[in-house]
Amino acid sequence: MVHSHKLNRGDSLLVVVDVQDKLLHAIHDWQTVLDNTIRMVKFAQALGVPVMVTEQYPKGLGPTNAQVRELFPDFGAIEKTSFSCFGADGLHDVLLALEVKTLVLVGIEAHICVEQTAIDALARGYNVQIIYDAVGSRSLENKELGINKIRQVGGIISGVEIALYEWLERAGTTEFKNILPLIK
């Protein structure tokens, strides 16, 4: 598989990893992580990029944050107990059905579930982009360690606006005009 370093919305999947309140409120700078996760979901939805949400052991950690859930007309999350999303039943089928080449990861925790998902995705030949300003860990040090490991094994570290503008590709389109209010 040819790896591209620029996002293409036609082959991307946004994966919202475990943004559950019982975890979220313990995350360093959690409000920024939540706000940017919400922005990424809105951008993806506006541009037709599919979005998948996972929940780590929801019986113990509770549901996905309500502000994220309400962005979906028919909310559904893939439940998992493995730290990597690749341990979740049905993930592989979703990726094949959508013809995904690139996983765009947001959520928590950067050094556990996001990191293990990224490593497993790279090992399976997917491109991986981590949205730095939409991932978090309980400590900034652990976030940095997770991000650095992902970078070392071939993941691309990106940001909310970088991803958006790569998905958009150009100004002057109807999509660009429709998304402008979300950017500001």
For residue range 61-113, what is the model confidence (pLDDT) as tens digits? Answer: 999 999 999 999 999 999 999 999 999 988 888 899 999 999 999 999 999 99
DSSP 51-68: EEEEEE-HHHH-SBPHHH
pTM: predicted TM-score of the whole model, two decimal places: 0.95
Is 3 within a domain?
no
Residues of the domain holding 144 = 9-183
pLDDT at residue 3 tops 80:
no
Q: Give the whole-number percent of the chain exceeding pLDDT 90.
A: 83
Q: Is residue 2 part of a domain?
A: no
Assess if residue 79 is contained within a domain: yes
Count up the domains in the chain and report the number.
1
- What mean pLDDT is predicted for residues 36-65? 96
Q: How far is CA 149 from the centre of its chain?
A: 17
Residues 6+ apart with CB under 8 A from 60: 22
Contacts of 66 (CB under 8 A, 6+ apart): 21
Q: Is the pLDDT of residue 132 over 80?
A: yes
* pLDDT for the residue numbered 133: 97
What are the catalytic residues? 18, 80, 113
- Say if residue 4's pLDDT is above 80: no
Q: What CATH number has the domain bearing residue 163?
A: 3.40.50.850
